[in-house]
Amino acid sequence: MINPTEPHKILVIGGGAGGLELVTQLGHRYRKNPSVEVTLVDQKRSHIWKPLLHEVATGSLDPNTDGVVYHAHAVKHHYEFELGTFCGLNKDTKTVTLAETVDEDGVQILPERHLQYDTLVLAIGSVSNDFKTPGVKDHCFFLDTAKQAERFHNALINNFMRVNQRENGVLNIAIVGAGATGVELAAELYNVTDMLKSYGLPKMTAKQLKVTLIEAGPRILPALPARISGSARDELAALGVDVCEDTLIKSANANGFETADGSEIEADMMIWAAGVKAPDFLADLYGFELTRTNQILVKPTLQSSIDDSIYVIGDCCACAQEDGSWVPPRAQSAHQMASLVKKNIILTEKGKELKNFVYKDHGSLVNLSRYSTVGSLMGNLSKNSMFIEGKIARVVYVSLYRMHQIAIHGFFKAMIVYIAEKIGKVVRPKMKLH
């Protein structure tokens, strides 16, 4: 039970969808209670909704205008923000260690710090799982962070400019992993390539782009219903995407990929978007019970299995459902987990019994840029999911991001952000070209 008259420190590590929504809610909850201190820690200065990173990678979204700056957001929503990389945890003293922060030249910005907590929430997220495939780390781009997405974007623009100088030049891009990120990225690449002729690259059209989408399993979008997968595959094929299913990558090199059957897939640019895991450092620290993908095992209340003062939410959380399956690493999972942890922190404050987490699958949507959107609604709210596509699916897909904005800004400010985005699109290019 939390004593309202004694200081209580709530520390949230990770400012992704779940972490940022949680500190926003807690900040408003305790804004008039000076004894409760809410702090967010992240190694980045700003937040981009992870499902939109493929748009950052192609230039459809500018993180400099569409991102949320943590320091500014913290002031408006009554919590503290600490810039730093989480590198140590002492459960006995309830202390978190943040590594020294340095600039690009190695000059110290912030020293190593130690933060105390009474309640700790780990919302560290996930990274791509390369399955230790030889050559992947050296030759492939990843899209786990905005920085990685911008690195890919800069290389993409440079390659577009090179191809534009050649008659009948072709840019070959290979994407490994046909989950939502890989599928959406493939479609978005064709969208931005079609725009280039309007922005100073007249020879660049979709005909100069060849995208190969590689999936080790029998079909793309393996986590979604077969009907969604089939519809998305048809849409991608119509765009010109070469979809390779049942294709296992053996290694990567400077010229492309080698498959398990010895075939070569040539590529000028390679993106690895196959599988996710929690960061590797979790396997070396703290003594948590982990899954084979480094996710932290939790109780039904989302408290870690070894320490009730530590909650875990989002992609790094391994939460078993009643049917024996695991809660999937999705944005809607992180949103639901953040809401429950807020409730359980309040219930702890009141000395009441904590609630168990029950995941509600509201369906899945995949956005194929301006070409189409496909998905299913309702999930486990009904016996049968409802398949949707086209404009209706697009509206629902966009509304998911708007719901996230409402969660972190409030309804009124989220509407102002929406209007500002609309105005910005009138004066800004449709894609980022630098």
Where are the chain's structural domains? Answer: 8-126+278-349, 130-275
pLDDT attached to residue 384: 57
pTM of the model: 0.89
Fold for 130-275, please state it: FAD/NAD(P)-binding domain (3.50.50)
Question: Nearest Cα to 179, choosing from 342, 50, 289?
Answer: 50
Contact, 94 vs 120, CB < 8 A?
yes
Using a 10 angstrom Cβ sphere, with 0-12 exposed, 13-18 middle and 19 or more buried, the burial of residue 294 is: buried
Question: Nearest Cα to 322, choosing from 355, 300, 338?
Answer: 300
Question: Nearest Cα to 364, choosing from 373, 355, 352?
Answer: 373
Contact, 251 vs 257, CB < 8 A?
yes
pLDDT attached to residue 186: 94
Domains 8-126+278-349 and 130-275 in one fold: yes
| Superfamily of segment(s) 8-126+278-349 | FAD/NAD(P)-binding domain (3.50.50.60)
Q: Reduced to 3 DSSP states, what percent helix, strand and coil does the chain have, rounded to the nearest 5? A: 35, 25, 40
> In this predicted model, what pLDDT tens digit does every residue of 332-367 receive, in sequence order?
899 999 999 999 999 998 999 999 999 988 777 777
Residues of the chain with pLDDT under 70: 1-5, 375-391, 393, 425-434
Dist. CA 318–CA 151, nearest whole Å: 31
Dist. CA 383–CA 381, nearest whole Å: 7
pLDDT attached to residue 380: 44
pLDDT attached to residue 382: 41
The amino acid at 179:
G
pLDDT attached to residue 177: 95
pLDDT attached to residue 433: 58
Read off φ and ψ for residue 47, nearest 5 degrees.
-115, 135
Instruction: Please name the helix (run of DSSP H) or strand (run of DSSP E) that holds residue 41, with its range, or none.
Output: strand 36-42
